[in-house]
Structure 1
């Protein structure tokens, strides 16, 4: 008898632990099952088998869960323990539902409810609600869980109370009742903390992340998902639903590469676990692949998802899968989709409660009807889509305003259409203001593309130079304006960056090993995730409007502003000269982009010490032909005389080395991301004195010679050369410096531009390091290959070293947009600083140094061609 009591206690303890510490529960349950078998204790075995089944359920082993729980039901029935059998059926129903056997699950839960009373029946109702929730029957699920909670509270059953709160929060989320969902989750987390419930807390944190994602609170959502992952990791669990939720959030801010990898991991996890959620993960993968442009993968994933939803009779999700397939067809061959097909898809989605997809399908129907000249049909579709502009998530409201803009345009109300575009852009810009991480703010701009493009198109139709200028400025990326506030010194981030530098230095010294490479990847992910969890600076507008022409003209003086605008592979330019604004239609971009593709090869040949005379001559011919083409297409039609130039290039022209154009030879030219940033940079120039810093990084033969030559021109210069050029010392000396010159290797990271770096003595000095500077330097020279070239990440968005410095408040920079030869760069930079010391502006000093250096030909010509002046470069530096 005493042995049976011990076995019963062990089995009950295993069952208690199964939902919170499944691995430990398994060990205890196996031991209890063996002991119960030895004594013939069927009740003890039933409890032990149920504990094993629940633990397997938590660990996503559905086959074992179903087997164990069926055994638990059978043993309880043979013992005549009706209540025990009903409780085991409750758990079995959950396993069957997750395995896709909805009919069997409902039969089990119905039987359980007849067998159970009081708290046990309340637990069964919570499980019934979870099954209904999995099947999308939200109203029935809420009705089931609502009366169960008070019973569980009175019984003091904390585990099931937390489970009920978690489940109900998701049901509230389905209805977008955020306040009710948040109240349930915060209560659940408080209970978990108080009672040490690690796994239920992971579920609650994950659900809280979904809530915050639904409200557009991206940093807070990422933080919640990270906390959930930490709890799951402690329990050695891989949870597919967390991967799905994270992938959706990453896709919402257009981090497409990461979203795809995460969605693929979710598909693999669900396939391994044979979960009913597998087709949902496939559907998400289809969406990500479509955004990425991988049409075969998108179509196949959507096809499989549709087949699986149809087999499971999940009509509400089948509508989503059919919409995904229609989107693929729309991208592949727009003419193959009819307005009626898109309209039916929108109706199905709306009936299933999918707000944003229904809006997209309705917008698709309107566009297709317009294409076919069916104005009445188009009007009906666009009017219906535009009704969502005042409620729902930011993306949905912005899309609704796009529909409204298209409707007004179709009616001939161009000014009204522009007002609608502006309203949609304000919604997305306010959303960006909530994001603290530069990367998230940049990628979020992808949502702005259709609206901003329509604004530019409407302005070009109107033909007003000032309107085109205003909308071209609105189209420029969010990183083209300074961050509203600089982040405070972040010790945790600084420590991670220091460890990354140490890891990279070890790799360079001894070569990459699997362990070091893994450590580098891990550290970069931790740095990225840490910064993504940073909140934005507030809830107001994230960017000021375009500066007024009169204000620009007053600051330009004798200079001319040229803002280039691309639309449908055609190039336009807006010029501001002496207060007069003009619009120029420059024609197709084809010839310009062709020359841009050949230009790097020609400059590389000229820069190489091993290029033959014949090859160098051919490279000079290519360079001359390209320069003439650029001049003829980009500057000569503007008729600007010999004025100094402020150039705001369009997307295709960002890496153009402007000094090679005959019209730019010897002329002061400064390049800016936008007119707004140029004006802000002019305002930020200061007479406040500061030190001069000269840095020489490792691995460049002439870096120290270049740095010493520069330093001799400034008697108060701080020299950080060789081993002294460590990141902490460089950062401390850069803060508030009057002038900084860095001669170092530059690394442009296309996979993650925020890890683009200058190579210092103790490792890479990244964009993240620059964003930690307490005060911006006034003028920075980056004599490092590609340092002036950013990496496009989302349409008009560019991230890199120079955009980071401009965004942090540095008024002027000089840097190369292509690789440059070491020795000739030293000569060019010596001439450049001679010009600065003589009182010339950065743009004047660079133009003069380039003019002198390029006459030497070969590598010197390549070095001269590579550098551009950025920001407020037309005024002399203060001393």
Structure 2
């Protein structure tokens, strides 16, 4: 400041302007955006007098950064768009990339996550091509923050780790701190509180050493969340008050709102409505001037909770509806399926609270509205995918798309090599240990995901940019026959419930069991069920009886808690499970008076009732149907040949792809024209990243990503491999796995398994199923009869109850 004053006295305006830029930079790095903006404004006035367009663009970019930090996002966005256009016209590639980098972050702050990813990813690629590690580091940090916002914690942590390594190499302490901070947030989100606290405290100390009070306060904001999880709301409250004071002093509106919302949540959890109301009033004042839809959703949700605590149910319902509306306005603009799935990960309580408030109102239309909310809360990304698929053709092969598709194929080949498939020996595993290549494999998967996101954004239907409409109760009732019920479970609230929809009415049954109990007992049931493998040759022995008794205890629990209270009498039942119920074999549940569900009811399943609107109706299946069998067995699956041969005997128009012929290209080519596709091969479910779950073919893995690219017209796809029905289930009840991929690819019905079973049991059950199907029986009824016949040979449900039928019924109108 003294040097600038001396230069002004000497009349050296140009040097003083350069010092203004430097002073602005100092204030920026110190977390004082208002002071920084004042210096940049003075420097800009001088640059305009001189007419130096390049310098003007550089200063304007600095100004835009400060305007963004101050919450003036609309002004900042207009400014950066102008800079992008000017830099492009002048051929200044670096300035253009820098402006894109800043523009992407503004769009992120405004909740336009799809557009933000596009812009930031374009900037990242530009900086990589320019070799500009400084701005590449900043762009990666912003991408990590974006991944956190859509709850892609794995992507956030990987990206933040890369950014931190780059920052350390360049000695960029501020970027190191930010990267470490977001790495800590991802760690906290994954449930590692102790590790996250350590990372937050290290990041805070780094900012303290450099005098950055704003980022110290941001660390305190996250440490307060750790305190709450550790049961220390008092410390959390003190941290949040201190952070809010810093944010107000520095004029950081959005951060002020975040701190006040966090304070309000702590007060509400502690039964203190009056200070909660004060904090929400202050947060609302800040958010009137900040376009942040997710924060507004959180504000509305907390206001609804406050209204509930104050005994104002009508006001609470209004605020709950506002919260859901804000969430859906953001979700609708996310054009990447992966982000849509993860985005709702922490939004489920908003929908659950609204469902509870609507049902408690007792209004005449309460049940219909509650059902509509439940449908909006579950599997919405899959509904959008199915809706976007209709009427679309193959991806248009423009030049950039062609390069992206070629890149994806190259990366998939690399992925198969790292997974143990060696070129020239299709279908055989190399002897390499996969563990030694785990890091390379994860890096390859990250590059595949990156390329597929870019491809999705270029082609709206691949990314579910369309939004499918959810179905109404009236539509469902109009489509049900006299002897057909639809049962839809909803487990997101404290009181789980089930909608039982019949042609002549709807009932809502509140269940006694908690969502946590369902998850716990489902895991225990799975453990006991898989022990049934020991009964293959032990029918009638005391050992078999003991194993059967162990599994029956858990089946009886689910029968008593989630099936019998519904009092279902209709023979045909379409079930929409939720949460842990996706892995429970409902057909095996015992009924009062003897027998099991499979003896009295014909079951089919749907991820959501709305999916049925967009699933094409199955065509007729009989002996004239075209059958494609994929048989890739080995020494561990000796019955695969018998299984496939028996099926082919019933359908003369068949094509078989064996261990040598079953390449990805051959499968893609033959599957397009098949009416029935029967897949008998090894499957792998990836719990860490379900989109890389796959089926083993001759030349590598057919992953979920690959399945999305198929164009099927099959009435039935049968995945007889082990665990093909397993999916990752997010709190938004989105299923991510092979089932999702095949439904999107065009399968009208899907038969898949929930656990590993011996191939001999599979072969027997499939023989019964296809015998019924070839005789003209319906798909769900064929499965029901096949299970009953298989049970006569092997009593343990491990052998006869693993398969579920997704779809397979007539579509609802619409």
Q: Same fold (TM over 0.5)?
A: yes
CA contact (8 A) 1:572 1:586 kept: yes
Aligned equivalents of 2:334, 2:288: Cα separation in 1? 22
Going from structure 1 to structure 2, the CA distance change for 1:156 and 1:526 (only over 3 Å counts) comes to: farther
**Shift, 1:851, TM fit:** 0.8
**Shift, 1:631, TM fit:** 1.5
CA contact (8 A) 1:816 1:868 kept: yes
CA contact (8 A) 2:349 2:492 kept: no
**Shift, 1:390, TM fit:** 8.8
Q: SS in structure 2 opposite 1:588?
A: coil
1:470 corresponds, among 358, 372, 385, to 372
2:254 pairs with 1:254? no
**Mean Cα deviation higher: 152-161 or 139-148:** 152-161
Q: SS in structure 2 opposite 1:397?
A: helix
Aligned equivalents of 1:456, 1:386: Cα separation in 2? 25
Deviations 1:361-410 (A, max 9, x none): 43344344445544444433344445537951221121122133224323
Aligned equivalents of 2:811, 2:119: Cα separation in 1? 48
CA contact (8 A) 1:126 1:145 kept: yes
Going from structure 1 to structure 2, the CA distance change for 1:335 and 1:274 (only over 3 Å counts) comes to: closer
2:698 alignment partner in structure 1: 761
2:750 alignment partner in structure 1: 813
2:413 corresponds, among 502, 505, 510, to 502
CA contact (8 A) 1:389 1:401 kept: no
Q: Which runs of 5+ in 1 are unaligned?
A: 1-105
Deviations 1:675-734 (A, max 9, x none): 2223443x6556799844332235443334323322332333343333332222322333
CA contact (8 A) 1:496 1:523 kept: no
Alignment of 1:236-251 (within 5 A): 237=133, 239-251=136-148
Aligned equivalents of 1:690, 1:435: Cα separation in 2? 40
2:545 pairs with 1:604? no
1:564 corresponds, among 466, 489, 493, to 489
CA contact (8 A) 1:113 1:124 kept: no
CA contact (8 A) 1:671 1:869 kept: yes
Going from structure 1 to structure 2, the CA distance change for 1:840 and 1:352 (only over 3 Å counts) comes to: farther
2:771 alignment partner in structure 1: 834
Going from structure 1 to structure 2, the CA distance change for 1:578 and 1:334 (only over 3 Å counts) comes to: farther
Alignment of 1:33-52 (within 5 A): none
Going from structure 1 to structure 2, the CA distance change for 1:169 and 1:698 (only over 3 Å counts) comes to: farther
CA contact (8 A) 1:644 1:874 kept: no
1:871 corresponds, among 784, 807, 814, to 807
Q: SS in structure 1 opposite 2:173?
A: coil
Q: Which runs of 5+ in 2 are unaligned?
A: 396-400, 422-428, 591-595
Q: SS in structure 2 opposite 1:824?
A: helix
Going from structure 1 to structure 2, the CA distance change for 1:118 and 1:603 (only over 3 Å counts) comes to: same
Going from structure 1 to structure 2, the CA distance change for 1:546 and 1:874 (only over 3 Å counts) comes to: closer
1:485 alignment partner in structure 2: 388
Aligned equivalents of 2:289, 2:483: Cα separation in 1? 46
Aligned equivalents of 1:615, 1:166: Cα separation in 2? 74
2:67 pairs with 1:172? yes
Going from structure 1 to structure 2, the CA distance change for 1:440 and 1:314 (only over 3 Å counts) comes to: same
1:224 corresponds, among 100, 119, 128, to 119
What is the TM-score with the length of structure 2 in the denominator?
Answer: 0.84
**Shift, 1:348, TM fit:** 4.7
**Shift, 1:852, TM fit:** 0.6
What is the TM-score with the length of structure 1 in the denominator?
Answer: 0.78
1:862 alignment partner in structure 2: 798
Aligned equivalents of 1:550, 1:609: Cα separation in 2? 45
1:778 alignment partner in structure 2: 715
CA contact (8 A) 1:855 1:861 kept: no
Q: SS in structure 2 opposite 1:725?
A: coil
Aligned equivalents of 2:124, 2:465: Cα separation in 1? 32
**Shift, 1:299, TM fit:** 2.4
**Shift, 1:752, TM fit:** 1.4
Aligned equivalents of 1:280, 1:382: Cα separation in 2? 28
Aligned equivalents of 2:585, 2:2: Cα separation in 1? 72
1:49 alignment partner in structure 2: none
Deviations 1:298-343 (A, max 9, x none): 3233334444444544333333232222222122215535868756
Aligned equivalents of 1:605, 1:144: Cα separation in 2? 72
**Shift, 1:634, TM fit:** 1.8
**Mean Cα deviation higher: 292-301 or 810-819:** 292-301
Aligned equivalents of 2:517, 2:114: Cα separation in 1? 43
CA RMSD of aligned residues (A): 3.7
Q: SS in structure 2 opposite 1:329?
A: helix
Aligned equivalents of 1:261, 1:693: Cα separation in 2? 40
Deviations 1:650-691 (A, max 9, x none): 21211112222133223311122222223443x655679984
Aligned equivalents of 2:159, 2:405: Cα separation in 1? 27
1:143 alignment partner in structure 2: 38
2:451 corresponds, among 518, 525, 530, to 530
**Shift, 1:546, TM fit:** 4.2
CA contact (8 A) 2:147 2:155 kept: yes
Aligned equivalents of 1:288, 1:189: Cα separation in 2? 32
Aligned equivalents of 1:691, 1:599: Cα separation in 2? 38
Deviations 1:797-819 (A, max 9, x none): 32111123334553321110111
1:804 corresponds, among 736, 741, 748, to 741
CA contact (8 A) 1:319 1:352 kept: no
Aligned equivalents of 2:811, 2:368: Cα separation in 1? 26
**Shift, 1:528, TM fit:** 0.7
Going from structure 1 to structure 2, the CA distance change for 1:358 and 1:128 (only over 3 Å counts) comes to: closer
Q: SS in structure 1 opposite 2:133?
A: coil
User: Hey, which of these two has a bigger chunk of helix by percent?
Assistant: 1
2:598 alignment partner in structure 1: 665
Deviations 1:144-178 (A, max 9, x none): 33354475578686764453243233123224445
Going from structure 1 to structure 2, the CA distance change for 1:813 and 1:300 (only over 3 Å counts) comes to: same
2:199 alignment partner in structure 1: 301
CA contact (8 A) 2:378 2:608 kept: yes
1:622 alignment partner in structure 2: 550
Aligned equivalents of 1:519, 1:309: Cα separation in 2? 33
**Shift, 1:414, TM fit:** 2.7
1:719 corresponds, among 650, 656, 662, to 656
Higher relative contact order by CA 8 Å / sep ≥ 6: 1 or 2? Answer: 2
Deviations 1:516-548 (A, max 9, x none): 766644442222112223335699983424412
1:99 alignment partner in structure 2: none
**Shift, 1:447, TM fit:** 4.3
**Shift, 1:452, TM fit:** 1.2
Q: SS in structure 1 opposite 2:294?
A: helix
**Mean Cα deviation higher: 821-830 or 471-480:** 471-480
1:9 alignment partner in structure 2: none
Aligned equivalents of 1:482, 1:775: Cα separation in 2? 18
2:189 corresponds, among 270, 275, 291, to 291
**Mean Cα deviation higher: 467-476 or 509-518:** 509-518
Aligned equivalents of 2:126, 2:722: Cα separation in 1? 44
